[in-house]
Chains A and B, each alone.
Chain A
Amino acid sequence: MKKKILLVLTTIIIFSFVGCNSSQNTKSDEETEVNDTILENGEDDEKDSQDRIIVYLSGPEAMITNLEEEFEKENGDVLDMNIMSCGQLRSKVWAESQAGSIQADVIWGSDPLIYNKLDDLKLLMPLNIKEFEKISSQYLWAGKNYALVNERYVIIMYNNTMLIDEIPESFADLTDEKYKNIAVMADASQSSTAFAIASSLYELMGNNNNYFQSLKNNGIMLSKSNGLVPSQIMEGQFAVGIAPHDSIIRLQNKAEKEGYEVTVKAVWPREGVISLQRPIAIPVDDNRSNKQQEIANKFVNFMLSKKAQMITANFGFVSVRNDIENTYLPEEIESFSVDWDAASENEENIKNEYQQIFH
């Protein structure tokens, strides 16, 4: 009898935890109302004493370290930087939003697709950009609760020890027999930026899947991420590939420091380059203290400041400021911006067709 009572009590306890969590969202508003007055000061005191913000971001670690040091010179040790790949950033932020609470105070990196999704769900706060007039007009997107921090271009890259005469000049060239089984691009199923690239190529190459089918027939391999593509070309695993240009800049910088030659070269495709932007945003969080909100706002404005923009430019990213020159894109080459709204609308279809072809 006692054992049965114990078991029933234990079961009730377990399911009360389950019940608590499932009704968390509906209960929390009432709790907040009832407890606000009693706990507000205590909560504020607890939050204020922390005085740090959590930043989820993607990008080269060396660049992020430089940015962190610059910001903390004037603001103190207030940043907890969580560096991850674009895909991880996207997954983590989305999973947390679905679970009810994004842990980060600032998100930077990945691509506008995830930010549009969060914005549609009203999970992003409006930004107060101080140097508004210093941002180039093409990077000011009306009606969005995020800002664009920098840009990168999708190009063709090749290994100049493996391809000497037969260098591709366009995206279309990669379907040629010459490049059978020696080409690589990031897998759009594994990388959000790769999906953005796939969406753009879909649009650029005729709004159909013929280009992808031709690439598949020509034996193109898929890489985990865009950052791996130039690495794998450099390592001789593949001779040619499609990826953003900034990774070659960083490879070259590293090679200069360490005393070896980079065998990866860039080709600006005849069709034009695809431009990908990297946004920054502040997620909505009612529990964030005033101090943390202030730091988050300061960090966003710091990222758009000339100092920070020069740091990111040194790592290959194109600045959004009109007082910093774009030294990467050749004048004669056209750049196409991704239609992020169309990409969002067609996301399911493009993904399904992509997976049918490549997986």
Chain B
Amino acid sequence: MNINRFSTKVKNENQQGVNLTNSLPIVLLVIVSIFILYPIIILVISSFSRYGHFSLENYKITFASSTTFKAFINTLKMALITLTGTWIAGGFLAFVRHKTDFKYKKTLDNFVFLSFTIPAYILSISWIEVLTRGGYLNRILKVVFPTITYRFNAYTIFASAIILILHLYPLVYYGVGNALKLLNGDIEQAARVCGIARFQILIRVILPLVMPSFISTGLLVISRSMANFGVPAQVSLPTGNEVLTTRIFSSMSDLNLGVVAVLSVILILIAVAIFLISEKFTQKKYYNVNADNKNINVSVIKLGKWKQAINIAVIIFFVFSVIIPFITIIISSFFKRWGLPFSKESFTISNYVRLFSQENLLTQPLFNSLIYGIVGATIASLIASLIVYLYVYRNNKASKWLMNIAQLPIAVPNMILAVAAMFAWINEPFKLYGTSSIIVITYIVLFIPICIKQMLGSSENLDKELDKAAITMNINIYIRYTKLFLPQIKDSLLSGFLICFLISLKEIPISLLLYTSTTKTLGVMMFTVQSNSYGLEMTSTISVIVIFFSFIGHIVLKNLGSKGY
């Protein structure tokens, strides 16, 4: 091949007028600017605005408060503990799944999926149902040791972190798992031929190759844990341990929208800082992994004498992360009122009857959640895949700008996305407030960086020469994107879609701030049901429904040929 003609062809494609290749980045830039950048700009402006005028008063009030400082420290504490725990749990399970001869791989996949179907808010409910003074553990202890005084404090920052670990470790599992799947077996084989010990291969070959996935999913874990409101509101706030999201919520209750905006800006700045650090870290390491499927992941490590120990460790983990919460929620859903003694008279199926028979109690919120989730996740996956494609294969200024803007929402708490959306879309000409569109758009904004993170980890190891070779053969961008790029990231694309869809089924803050009587979602139901007249038993009932539909969604995706799970 004539190298000069090859590079000329590639150069010409980039320089030819306004065509699909050249206008795609601009179109995407416009879309993300309107839906992501514009509301954030409004948010930043609001932080500098008081009674309609420019002012630094909001910042002075916020930083003068020791409560803000305490909330900041608690948030960091919670995020770091969560990150550590998810890396250990998710990384360990991904390694066992993809790099060892562990026997029950499909079962492991299913349990990890079930972990993610249990909403974090519901995990916190089951935590309360098991470990508080009125919980199942104390009830059992009272039977065995009647004089015992239950002293365990279930309401701490550490409790929030544990719950978030149990909820978020699948992000690391899927992200690292996808990267492990695409590893070229040649590199490992070469290392073994050179006589390097297995453990050394793990540390010096495999770990560096999947480090980008650890970091990219780790960023997601940090942002999601810092952005979580429901869990710390349930298990940390009762003892006065605020985090930034609960601080934001209480500022909203205080009608102090300027402080809300300031705290949001702080969270955004933290996220940008973390993102820039991680970018700098991952840019120093470039790994060329062959995308040829022939040699991918051929080598597995035999567990040998460690088999029993690994099996027990995995079983124990899933008993605590899935089985106990699941059983707790199911049992609680059959109580007439949670907290009643264990007797025949205390149980009923009327909670389920009430849910399905009363209008607006389940049917409409469920329908809304399904539609908003599917539409939001589909559009977000599409936009994210286009952005990742341009970033990986073009890697010019425009695609980098695009990637940076698209990932901005990554650390913005869901409720702040909702506040920003409210301010952005309440006025003409785009008066979307009070409609389902504002919820869907905010979901898309929330989902795009999640999908990007899922795809980026595996995309960075793709062979970039493949696209260039396709250009020389005059294959247009549409074919290159659909026939070459998408099949290679299919698993992570589907992972991203499913993760986003599941998030929409259990998401609370966005829909809580933006819903109207006709746009209620399951998340709104879960949160408001406990606040109004019903106890934990009704929240548990709704949770069972949520988990059931999530499970159905998983089966459907599997039957569609998704190999992501």
Q: Chain A interface (Cβ within 8 Å of chain B)? A: 2-3, 6-7, 10, 13-14, 17-18, 20-22, 24, 54, 60-62, 80-85, 87-88, 90-92, 94-96, 98-101, 103, 114, 117, 182, 184, 187, 189-192, 195, 216, 221-225, 227-228, 231-232, 234-238, 250, 254-255, 258-260, 351-352, 355-356, 358-359
Contact = CB atoms under 8 A, between A and B. Distances in A.
Nearest to A58: B532
Given A191-B253, A260-B337, 8 more contacts: A3-B26, A95-B419, A99-B423, A227-B532, A234-B339, A237-B135, A356-B66, A359-B240
Contacts of B241: 359
B70 A91 contact: no
A96 B426 contact: yes
Contacts, number: 174
> At the interface, is chain A mostly helix, strand, loop or mixed?
helix
Interface string B37-66: 110011001000000000000000000011
A261 B475 CA distance: 74
Interface string B280-320: 00000000000000000000000000000000000000000
Q: Which of A21, A222, A255 has the most CB of B within 10 A?
A: A21
Contact of A99 (B30, B134, B426): B426
B255 interface: yes
A222 B237 contact: yes
B63 to A, nearest CB: 14
A6 B26 contact: yes
A235 B419 contact: no
Given A100-B427, A234-B337, A85 B254 contact: no
Given A88-B512, A234-B535, A352 B255 contact: no
B336 A260 contact: yes
Contacts of A260: 336-337, 340, 345-346
A236 B133 contact: yes
Given A92-B513, A96-B426, A258 B336 contact: yes
Given A24-B427, A259-B345, A356 B67 contact: yes
20 contacts: A2-B18, A3-B18, A14-B38, A20-B428, A20-B429, A85-B531, A94-B255, A96-B426, A100-B426, A187-B237, A190-B233, A191-B253, A221-B238, A224-B237, A227-B532, A235-B339, A236-B134, A236-B339, A355-B67, A358-B240
A99 B532 contact: no
A212 to B, nearest CB: 11
Given A100-B426, A355-B65, A3 B252 contact: no
B337 A60 contact: no
B350 interface: yes
B22 A3 contact: yes
B528 interface: yes
Contact of A91 (B155, B255, B427, B430): B255
Contacts of B426: 96, 99-101
Nearest to B537: A235
Contact of B530 (A20, A96, A216, A228): A228
A223 B238 contact: yes
A84 B528 contact: yes
B424 interface: yes
A216 B239 CA distance: 9
Contact of B253 (A87, A98, A100, A184): A87
Contact of A221 (B155, B257, B535): B155
Q: Which of A117, A224, A254 has the most CB of B within 10 A?
A: A224
A90 B255 contact: yes
Contacts of B254: 189, 351
Contacts of A92: 513
Contact of A238 (B34, B133, B234): B133
Contact of B428 (A24, A94, A221): A24
Contact of B33 (A14, A80, A117, A232): A14
Interface of B: 17-18, 22-23, 26, 29-30, 33-34, 37-38, 41-42, 45, 65-67, 70-71, 128, 132-135, 155, 233-234, 237-242, 246, 249-250, 252-255, 257, 336-340, 345-346, 348, 350, 419, 422-424, 426-430, 433-434, 512-513, 516-518, 528, 530-533, 535-536
A237 B535 CA distance: 12
A82 B516 contact: yes
A17 B513 CA distance: 23
Given A3-B26, A6-B18, A18-B41, A225 B531 contact: yes
B346 A82 contact: no
A123 B492 CA distance: 51
Q: Which of A216, A236, A254 has the most CB of B within 10 A?
A: A236
Contacts of A61: 532-533
List the 8 closest pairs (A to B, CB-CB), nearest first: A236-B134, A235-B339, A189-B250, A221-B238, A94-B255, A91-B252, A99-B426, A355-B67
A81 B532 contact: no
Q: Which of A10, A85, A182, A355 has the most CB of B within 10 A?
A: A355
Given A189-B254, A190-B253, A237-B132, A255 B337 contact: yes
A95 B433 contact: no
Contacts of A88: 512
Nearest to A235: B339
A114 B252 CA distance: 12
A60 B336 contact: no
Nearest to B431: A101
A103 B434 contact: yes
Contacts of B45: 22
Nearest to A315: B533
Contacts of B419: 95
Contacts of B513: 91-92, 95
A87 B535 CA distance: 19
Given A61-B533, A85-B532, A254-B533, A224 B233 contact: yes
A99 B427 contact: yes
Contacts of A254: 337, 533
Contacts of A81: 517
Nearest to B249: A190
A95 B252 contact: yes
A258 B337 contact: yes
B250 to A, nearest CB: 4
Contacts of B430: 17
A98 B336 contact: no
Q: Which of A3, A80, A228 has the most CB of B within 10 A?
A: A3
